[in-house]
Structure 1
Amino acid sequence: MTRTHRFRNTLAALATGLALLTGHTASAQSMVSVKGNVLNMRSGPGTNTEVLWELRKGYPLKVVARQGNWLKVSDFENDRGWVARSLTGRTPHHVVKSRVANIRSGPGTQHRIVGKAEYGELLRTREKRPDWVRVERDNGKTGWIAKRLLWGW
């Protein structure tokens, strides 16, 4: 084994150990979205727990824990709850996290503003660049929003 391989193995072992100690693993930090028309966010894993609120189709959620067929998730406001894994999917969406976000014709401030999105608006993710996301509204219109103004994937 070369020095480089030993170094990489040591780094991998340290990362795994850190993940185990902190409870953060790559799979636990994945994103999901609401697959059906409506999904109940619950206070605990199971249908016999309180419904905290309803989420609509496409709403993005960060998975923070798993228990059987249930996912503990957080949303863009860091509210947490439990959802049935079978009711989630992998279709990427974003939520506007700023008061208002300009929707532009291209990925950059030099492009003209074609619309505005408001706090909490749900948008379908169509393309991602390092600092910009092309999104689609419910009405089918698309445009680009600065990534820093959005939450999701």
Structure 2
Amino acid sequence: MFFAAGNANPASNNQPREVSDFAAHPDGICVTASNSLDLRSSYSFFGRQAFICAPTNGDGGVGITTATCDLGRDGRSVVLGYTSGFGGTSSAAPLAAGVCALMLTSNPDLTVAQIRDILRRSADKIGPSHAYDANGHSIYYGYGRVNALRAVQMAAALRNPGSTTAPSSPAAPTTAGTQRGRVESRFLNVRSGPGTSFSVVRQLNQGDVIPLLERVSGFWRIGDGEFVSADYVRVLSAIPTAPVAARKGRVNHTFLNVRSGPSTSYSVVGRLNQNDMVDIFETSRDGWHRIGPNRWVLGSYVEIV
């Protein structure tokens, strides 16, 4: 259960108020408030029970705009709209709960302990570093600001390979050794992932020669977290060199799915167990480690050794 930490801090006696009542229940997840400046909202209650914070309004930041669903004047019809007047920990708590819902959509088999662990490990540390203790906890921010993308990725990475809820997978990457290619178009965007939905990280010019490390769903991977459309690259030749693992890692979770590409949308091709050692050849911009040809794992569950 997600509970709002509470507002109106300091209280009427001008003394800071800590979390109490339902939000302090040991089985609950207490959500405090932060603002768009990644600082604590001063009205938010705080305390050792704080588990996570979520963005809302306060202290000069931009507030939350959310959808509304109200009854019409006749008491029967439904009126849909938007409001920017829903703030405080009252909006922070359902935002965090919504992230949990996304996690469960990605992996319905998550336990409460796994949900808490993922929220804790995926959170972004915001505010001053001295606000956190040696265990990474803050009485103001909990374990940090909730990160929806990272939480969903970590949840999906724990999905059982036999689960019927797994989404359909894009074509698996095909290893191309160490070929080279020449850019044929006037310019070519380099993206952070194998698709046009990924951000552009730089541009290449016509005639540039690039390494073609592997092909992923119509894109060439040309470096760590760098992909270009194969439609605008002419393949030149192969260079027979062996890949070299730059680092080693140890699996720090009970098990870890190995996927055919750097995303939870790719199919599961294997499974690692806790304390298994892996070679890490590269890390994508989204935090996925390539541990072999067409074999990727989420870096959040691998400890570099």
Same fold (TM > 0.5):
no
Tell me which protein shows more strand as a share of its residues: 1
Q: Which has the higher contact order (CA 8 A, sep 6+)?
A: 1
TM-score, length basis structure 2: 0.20
TM-score, length basis structure 1: 0.38
